Amino acid sequence: MTYETILAIALFSLVGSVSPGPSNFMLLASGTNFGFWRTVPQILGITVGLSSVLLAVGFGLGALIHAYPPIGVALKIAGAAYLLYLAWRIAMSRAVPNSESDSARPLTLLESAAFQWVNPKAWIAGLTAMAAYASAENPFVSVLLITLVVAIVNLPSVAVWAGFGVALRSFLTNPARLKWFNIAMGLLLVASLWPLLK
């Protein structure tokens, strides 16, 4: 794989990782409600989950979904249901937790990683990256390299969204502002279902 191809993959990943989407809206809300350090497992989970989707697509799951459409439909239904549940959970959050003992919590690493399997943006990114950059001459190495480059770029890119949430934290200590912010984040998460409807 050439240097130019690696740079193209990195740019593709940067644009995809930094642009708005379900995971980034959840990170923004989590950074606001829980702070950066409590959101770190969720950040790591996004990168781990996206990497697992990329590997699965690169090693044949994408072709299986294309050949057997009901698998894709099942993923869409599961993704939509989980997105609606998370949107409701975010929209109903009403206070910035003051301690780790509060019952509200951000997603864990495993929950965040599992969410990528039903996240339409992760699947679009995985299918696009593998179709555009995987090499027919050495598919195994190219799939691993694509996944590595995407992961390296994705991790700091999504962390920025949690940082934005932290920056909003002091402004949102007002309960009314926080209420409307969380409702807006829940609605944006629901709006991110649009790609599933196409």
CA 40, CA 162: separation in Å to the nearest integer?
9
pLDDT score for 62: 65
Give residue 160's pLDDT.
95
Whose CA is closest to 183, among 35, 31, 29, 38? 29
Between residues 182 and 24, the one the model is more confident about:
24
**Residue 39: pLDDT over 90:** yes
Cα torsion at 126, 128, 129, 130 (round to 10°)? 80
The top-scoring range by mean pLDDT among 69-78, 144-153, 165-174 is: 144-153
User: Residue 83 has which token pair?
Assistant: 């997105």
Q: What is the pTM of this model?
A: 0.79
Radius of gyration of the chain (CA): 17
User: Which one is predicted more confidently, 188 or 129?
Assistant: 129
Kindly write down the DSSP assignment for every residue of 140-180, as one continuous string. HHHHHHHHHHHHHHHHHHHHHHHHHHHHHHTGGGSHHHHHH
Specify whether the CB–CB gap between 112 and 46 falls below 8 A: yes
At how many degrees (to 10) do helices 175-191 and 69-91 cross? 170
Of 25, 38, 52, 56, nearest to 158 (Cα)? 25
Residue 1 has pLDDT above 90, yes or no: no
Q: How far apart are CA 29 and CA 32, in angstroms?
A: 5
Confidence at residue 193, expressed as pLDDT on a 0 to 100 scale: 67
Backbone angles phi, psi at 138, to 5 degrees: -140, 70
- Going by the DSSP 8-state scheme, the letter that residue 138 receives in this structure is S
Category of 90 on φ-ψ map: left (φ > 0), alpha (ψ -120 to 50) or beta = alpha
More confident residue, 94 or 157: 157
In angstroms, rounded to a whole number, what is the distance separating the alpha carbons of residues 12 and 39?
25
